[in-house]
Amino acid sequence: MSDAIIQSELLDNKADKEQNLCQILSVQELSVLNDRSNSKGLVQLALHLTVMVCSGYLWGTNFGNWSLAIPALVIYGFSLASMFAPMHECVHRTAFANNRLNEAVAWFSGLLSFYNSTFFRRYHKWHHRYTRVPDKDPELTDLKPSNLGKYLLIISGLPWWQGKLSGHFQVATGQFDDFPFVPEAARAEVIRSTRWQLGIYVSAIAISILFGQPWFFLYWLLPLLIGQPILRFILLAEHTGCTLDANLLTNTRTTLTLWPVRFFMWNMPYHAEHHLYASIPFHALPKAHQQLSQHFTHIEPGYVKVNWDIITNS
C-alpha cells in the first residue's frame, strides 16, 4: 500500500474520530431540530425574491436619481449574490421537505448567483466531509488573505469570477482533472447542467444585443459585481483563522450579526452549528445556536471584527 493511500486513510480515520467526539445533541433533540418545512422555505424564498424584485425595480427606474438608485443597486446586487445561500441550503436538501423542490430551487438560485448547484453539491460534500483538513478540503485551494493586498483582492471578488469562468468552462467541456470530488458516474449530469446554465446566459446576452438594450449588464452582471464583495466579506469569516484539522468545534466560526444579514444568508452566519449538524435546516439554526454555542471556540460579534482580525493577523 502506498504512503499516499495510507496518509489518506489516516486523515479519513482522524476526521471520523474527531467528528464523532462532536455529537453533543441527543437523538431526540436533533430530531426536533431536523424537521424540514416546505412552508418555511417557501416564505423565506418569497421574501428574498420580493426584496430582489423591488430593489431591482428601484434601480432600473431611478437612473439619475442616484441617492435612491445606488442604495437600490447595492441591495439588489447583494440579493442576487446571496442567492448562493438558498442554493447552499437546497444542496443540503434541508430548505424544503420536498426534495424535488430542493433540486429546482438549488438550480434556479445557482443560475442567479453564477454557481452551478449540480457541481456545487459534489464540491460541498467534500468540504463538509473534510472541513479544514489539508489536501482534502477543496476550499483550502482558494487564495488565502495572507497579507492586505491578497485580502483586498479576495474581497473584490475578482478571483471568484476567474474561478467561476474557468471552472464552468472546464466542466462544460468535460475537463475534470481539477475536480476529483466529482465522481465519474456524476460527470454527465454535471456537464449537462452546466451547459444548460451557460446556454441561458448566452441567450440573455443575445436578447440584450437583439433589442439593443444593456439588460444583461444592468440587471445581472453589474449588480453581481457589486454584490460579490459583500458576500466575500461574509464568507471569508466562516473558516479563516480557525484550526486546520477535522475538529468541528474549532475549525468553523459562527458570527453574530444583524437580522438583515441573517435573512439574506438564510441563517448561515450560524456556521459552526451548520457544520456540526448539517442536517439542521436554516430556520432551526438560531435554536441550535442556543443549545450548542457554549461548545464552540470561535463565536464572534460581527463581520467587521472578524475581517479586522483577519487583516491584522495576516
Average pLDDT taken over every residue of the chain = 94
Q: What percent of the chain shows pLDDT beyond 90?
A: 92
Judge whether residue 95 has pLDDT over 50. Answer: yes
Q: What pLDDT does residue 314 have?
A: 78
**Of residues 147, 303, 133, the one with CA closest to residue 232:** 303
pLDDT above 90 for 23: no
Mean pLDDT, residues 156-163 taken together: 98
At residue 14 the predicted structure's pLDDT band, cuts being 50, 70 and 90, is very low
Average of pLDDT values for 16-40? 82
Kindly report, residue by residue over 167-226, the tens digit of the pLDDT: 999 999 999 999 999 999 999 999 999 999 999 999 999 999 999 999 999 999 999 999
Query: For the residues 229-249, what does the mean pLDDT come to?
Result: 97
**Longest pairwise C-alpha distance within the chain:** 68
pLDDT at 269: 98
CB atoms within 10 A of CB 216: 18
* pLDDT at residue 1, rounded to an integer: 43
